[in-house]
């Protein structure tokens, strides 16, 4: 069986629809809470690669830490951004679904 991973935090307002859709489809999903999960650098790099986005695009720009550490600075390399995400998990945008080679981020606009 292929594993489906849904990464979210509680309350999971953004990820709840994805979880329900998956369960209604009869798919078993591994659900992890990113605030309690210790991501490694390789996992985050893999997520960014699959999403085909800049590492900055997955950050919560409204978090005080974002401004405090100048994460808007385009000179910061991806490994710097990943280091901040590992250190401060709440910077990581929520509702990420990983399935085989597909990764989707649920983000309201």
Span between the terminal Cα atoms of the chain, in Å: 34
Spell out the per-residue pLDDT of the chain, length 109, in tens.
Answer: 455 555 555 555 566 776 777 778 777 777 777 777 788 899 888 888 888 877 788 888 999 999 999 999 989 998 999 999 899 988 877 667 777 777 777 655 4
pLDDT of 1 reads: 41
pLDDT of 33 reads: 73
CATH of domain 4-105: 3.40.30.10
pLDDT of 71 reads: 92
- Tell me the domain boundaries of the chain: 4-105
List CB contacts of 105: < 8 A, sequence separation 6 or more: 51, 53, 58, 93, 95, 96, 97
- In 10 A of CB 40, how many CB atoms? 10
């Amino acid at each position: 069986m292929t594993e489906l991973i849904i990464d979210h935090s509680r309350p999971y307002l953004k990820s709840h629809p994805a979880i329900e859709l998956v369960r209604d489809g009869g798919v078993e999903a591994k659900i992890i809470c990113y605030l309690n999960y210790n991501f490694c650098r390789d996992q985050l790099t893999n997520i960014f690669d699959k999403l085909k986005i800049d590492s900055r695009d997955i950050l919560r720009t409204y978090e005080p830490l974002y401004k405090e550490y100048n994460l808007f600075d385009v000179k910061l390399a991806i490994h710097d951004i990943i280091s901040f995400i590992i250190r401060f998990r709440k910077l990581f945008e929520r509702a990420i679904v990983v399935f085989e080679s597909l990764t989707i981020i649920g983000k309201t606009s």
